Homo-oligomer: A and B are copies of this chain.
Amino acid sequence: MKRAVVVISGGMDSTTLLYDARRDGYTINAISFNYDQKHKKELKCAQQTCHKLGIKHTIISLDVLNTLAPSALTRKEWDVPEGHYADDNMKQTVVPNRNMVMLALATSYAISKKAKYLFYGVHSGDHAIYPDCRPDFYKYMQDAIMRADWHKVLLRAPYIMKDKGDIVIRGKDLGVDYSLTWTCYQGRDKACGKCGSCVERLEAFEKAGIDDTLEYE
């Protein structure tokens, strides 16, 4: 039995990755993190997807990250910037070291479940703005994670050189239900269509030639 832990945010990329790992026959424990993000709706999406696929899912409370290192994604008094995802003002949405914190905890979980693999849905669209989404960061994390315990965990980030358009094309093939994914950084009922995340999502669906069934403001 190949056991894997998959980190799922509830966004398009990690949801596609969950379908991908499932197609590859892994026995999966999915894990999500609640770091008090404004766009908590993504957690509900993660839950619904896991329920639909019959995958065990755990949501871990990580409000400590907001205490230690606030960002525009978590603090009510800071506005989420509008514009393109790769713009400089999107740097305000960096939650300092978020990926290492989530990977570290997901590794603890993988060790405790004796899972050999840890899947993480990072992709190339994030490289410009988020240093902790770049290949060299993952190369070193992979090395560190493999050495963290007697039980070896292998970190896999198979989309790291793909963009969101490629991921949606892959998702189409896998039959991903994208109506159960959430991308918008604003914490409102419908997607804003204007924040960097929304703009990038819309571009991805256009590239893939698929309709986005999500409701926009």
Residues in chain B near residue A151, CB distance under 8 A: 96
Nearest Cβ in chain B — how far from A159, in angstroms? 19
Which residues of A (140-177) have their CB < 8 Å from a CB of B? 140-141, 143-145, 147-151
Indicate whether A78 reaches chain B with its CB closer than 8 angstroms.
no
With A60-B68, A68-B105 known to touch, is A147 a contact of B136 (CB < 8 Å)? yes
Residues in chain B near residue A131, CB distance under 8 A: 147-150
Say yes or no: B112 contacts A64, CB within 8 Å.
no
Indicate whether A137 reaches chain B with its CB closer than 8 angstroms.
yes
CB closest chain-B residue, reference A109: B68
Q: Which of B103, B137, B145 contacts A147 (CB 8 A)?
A: B137
Q: Which of B65, B99, B147 contacts A105 (CB 8 A)?
A: B65
Say yes or no: A108 contacts B112, CB within 8 Å.
no
Indicate whether A101 reaches chain B with its CB closer than 8 angstroms.
yes
Nearest Cβ in chain B — how far from A142, in angstroms? 8
Interface residues of A (CB under 8 A from B): 58, 60-62, 64-65, 67-70, 91, 94-101, 103-105, 107-109, 111-112, 131-132, 134, 136-137, 140-141, 143-145, 147-151
Offer 7 A-B interface pairs, CB within 8 angstroms, sorted by A.
A60-B64, A68-B108, A70-B112, A96-B111, A96-B112, A131-B150, A137-B147
For the complex of A and B, 5 pairs with smallest distance between CB atoms: A69-B112, A96-B111, A140-B144, A140-B143, A97-B108
